[in-house]
Amino acid sequence: MEGNKRTMRERCTLRKDIIKEFLAEFLGTFILILFGCGSVAQTVLSRGALGEPLTIHIGFTLGVAGCHGLGSAR
C-alpha cells in the first residue's frame, strides 16, 4: 500500500498534451467571452450611463490579451 503513495502534485499533473490544449482553449474562450460580453452587457443594460463604446473595445482587448497570455503559457 505504501508503494502507491503519490503526492498531490503528482496526482493533479496533466500528463496528456491533448488535455492541456483543450483546457487552455476552453479557458481562453471563457475569458474572452467573460470580458467581451460583460462589457457589452454593462453598456446595454445601463443604457449608456455606465459604459460607452470605448469600454466595449477595452473589454474585448483585455479578453484577447488574457487569451494570448494563457495560450502562450502552455
CA-wise closest residue to 41 among 33, 25, 6:
33
CA distance 17 to 21: 6
Q: How many CB atoms lie within 10 A of CB 15?
A: 7
User: Amino acid identity of 56?
Assistant: I
Reference 42, options 30, 31, 54, 32; nearest CA is: 54
For residue range 25-54, list pLDDT tens digits in order. Answer: 888 888 888 888 888 888 888 887 877 888
Q: How many helices (H) and strands (E) does the chain have?
A: 3, 0
Cβ neighbours of 45 (radius 10 Å)? 11
What would the pLDDT profile of 2-24 be if each residue is shown by its tens digit?
556 777 777 767 677 777 788 88
Residue 1 confidence (pLDDT): 47
pLDDT at residue 62 is higher than 70? yes
